[in-house]
Amino acid sequence: MKYNFDTVIDRSKNHAAKYDERIKKFGTEDVIPLWVADMDFKTAQPIIDALESRAKEGIWGYTSRDDSYFEAYANWQEKRHGWKPEIKKMSYALGVVPSLSAIVKLFTPLSGKVMIQTPVYPEFYDVVEAWDRTVIENRLVEENGNWSIDWKDFEEKASQASLFILCSPHNPLGIVWERKDLERMFSICKKYSVPVVSDEIHSDLVFHGKTHIPSALVDPDVITCISCTKTFNLAGLQACTVVFSDARQKEVFDRYWARMDIHRNNAFSLIAMETALNKGEEWLDQLLAYLSDNIDFVVEYCRKHIPCIKPMRPDATYLVWLDCRDLHLNQEELNTFFIQEAKLGLNNGGDFERGLEGYMRLNVACPRSVLKQAMKQLEKAVNRRNERK
């Protein structure tokens, strides 16, 4: 079927964090919210139909999960990414972030050091520091709008680390790591006996002819976190799959959740995930084309109308990293400018790397009309600021 991603859906007052938490996040509701990474699109119709059917049963008790659930994940990974993980090596968890948190707690020593590559998803800091571990940053290097790994620093930091958390594809930079980069990172980690966990929640959202390479295809020892919640806009249903190669690690991980009696999907997440993986591909292919066009729109709009703001064109995710350094504002001033002048609610770039100045993150997973209005508001705000100078 043909999906219409141009439809504007009112999500306000519907418990959508993206909208209903605007005052908490920005101090005002008078912003277009383009921050938290979910989409303003309805999911695939087969998922909606399956959930409606389940809801009509009227009984949502404890939910049994059979092999078909993990088989759906394995088949999806094989079809989309050429990797077929073994079902017996898969574990259920509530989400990628809770899984990363558990892995830090379970597989690093107290006061251990965990390496991350910044700028990166801010929760990478949180899941490390929550357990009194220390973050060590391998800061990615920017040159003419392109970001790359500082390999000398990577090896220096790896030599100190108890764990490396990889973001693949990378959020917020939208980098789809090439095999040679993965091989080099994992080789250095092996040299210093550093375990690797790879967050691959954005692996289905890849554009521009790029190909996501599952970390486990390069190094089977990598712990891999996958989920279709980001892919199909199902984050509120909370489910992910963690793939281990080490049976002992899987046992320790599973026991951790079992101690809290967390081992089942809820009645709706099980149906949604399995349906998405088995019947959602048609919707996803149409979504990717729409998101790619939205990214192109933002890049071209800034080039023509707001040249002082330089978007990085991501090869993955629906998140655009904005280089706003030519506005000559510190990070606090920049964040205030977007909220009060442009009336846009974006993610503060300083949250992705402590001390970073001059960047913001824009979520383009919304109807084009909303994105056009947002860019017009930004253009007017920049012009007003230039007129005052």
Q: Does pTM surpass 0.95?
A: yes
Whether 122 and 210 map to the same domain: the answer is yes
Residue 387 has pLDDT above 90, yes or no: no
Q: Where are the beta strands (DSSP E) in 221-358?
A: 223-226, 240-243, 310-312, 319-323, 344-345, 347-348
Q: Is 112 a member of any domain?
A: yes
Whether 289 and 145 map to the same domain: the answer is no
Q: Is 1 a member of any domain?
A: no
Domain boundary among the residues 217, 251, 279 is at 279
Which has the closest alpha carbon to 296: 382, 233, 383, 375?
Answer: 375
pLDDT at 121: 97
Q: Which residues contact 185 (CB under 8 A, 6 or more apart)?
A: 149, 154, 164, 166, 196
pLDDT at 41: 98
CA dist., res. 160 & res. 310, Å (int):
35
Q: Which two tokens stand for residue 77?
A: 């990974």
Whether 262 and 290 map to the same domain: the answer is no
Domain boundary among the residues 244, 279, 314 is at 279
Q: Is 105 a member of any domain?
A: yes
Residue 389 has pLDDT above 80, yes or no: no
pLDDT at 13: 84
Whether 269 and 182 map to the same domain: the answer is yes
Contact status, residue 20 vs residue 12, Cβ threshold 8 Å:
yes
pLDDT at 268: 97
Q: Model confidence over 166-222: pLDDT tens digits? A: 999 999 999 999 999 999 999 999 999 999 999 999 999 999 999 999 999 999 999
CA triplet 200, 204, 206: central angle to 5 degrees? 105
- The secondary structure element, H or E, covering residue 136 is strand 134-139
CA dist., res. 316 & res. 177, Å (int):
10
Question: Sign of torsion, CA 172 313 82 286?
Answer: positive
Q: For residue 370, what are the β-bridge partners?
A: none
Q: Which two tokens stand for residue 368?
A: 């084009």
Mean pLDDT, residues 224-233 taken together: 98
pLDDT at 82: 98
Q: Is 53 a member of any domain?
A: no
pLDDT at 284: 98
DSSP 316: B
CA dist., res. 105 & res. 112, Å (int):
10
Give me the number of domains the chain comprises. Answer: 2
CA dist., res. 68 & res. 42, Å (int):
25
Whether 158 and 35 map to the same domain: the answer is no
Q: How much of the chain, in percent, has pLDDT values that exceed 70? A: 100
Tokens 């503060």 belong to: 348
Q: Is 374 a member of any domain?
A: yes
Whether 222 and 89 map to the same domain: the answer is yes
Whether 244 and 273 map to the same domain: the answer is yes
Whether 84 and 201 map to the same domain: the answer is yes
| Domain at 88, CATH number | 3.40.640.10
Domain boundary among the residues 221, 253, 279 is at 279
CA dist., res. 155 & res. 101, Å (int):
24
Q: Is 56 a member of any domain?
A: no
Q: Within the chain, how many helices (H) and strands (E) appear?
A: 14, 15
Whether 258 and 297 map to the same domain: the answer is no
CA dist., res. 318 & res. 389, Å (int):
34
Residue 386 has pLDDT above 90, yes or no: no
Window from 55-59, 335-339, 385-389 with minimum mean pLDDT = 385-389
CA dist., res. 78 & res. 243, Å (int):
14
Residue 235 has pLDDT above 80, yes or no: yes
Whether 243 and 329 map to the same domain: the answer is no
CA triplet 250, 239, 207: central angle to 5 degrees? 100
Q: Which two tokens stand for residue 30?
A: 């008078």
| Domain at 366, CATH number | 3.90.1150.10
Whether 299 and 361 map to the same domain: the answer is yes
CA triplet 119, 173, 16: central angle to 5 degrees? 90
Q: Is 12 a member of any domain?
A: no
CA dist., res. 39 & res. 291, Å (int):
10
Other C-beta atoms within 10 Å of 94: how many?
17
Whether 360 and 223 map to the same domain: the answer is no
CA dist., res. 359 & res. 335, Å (int):
9
Q: Is 54 a member of any domain?
A: no
Report the SS3 class of residue 141: strand
For 333, the domain range is: 17-43+282-388
Three-state secondary structure along 53-91? HHHHHCCCCCCCCCHHHHHHHHHHHHHHHCCCCCHHHEE
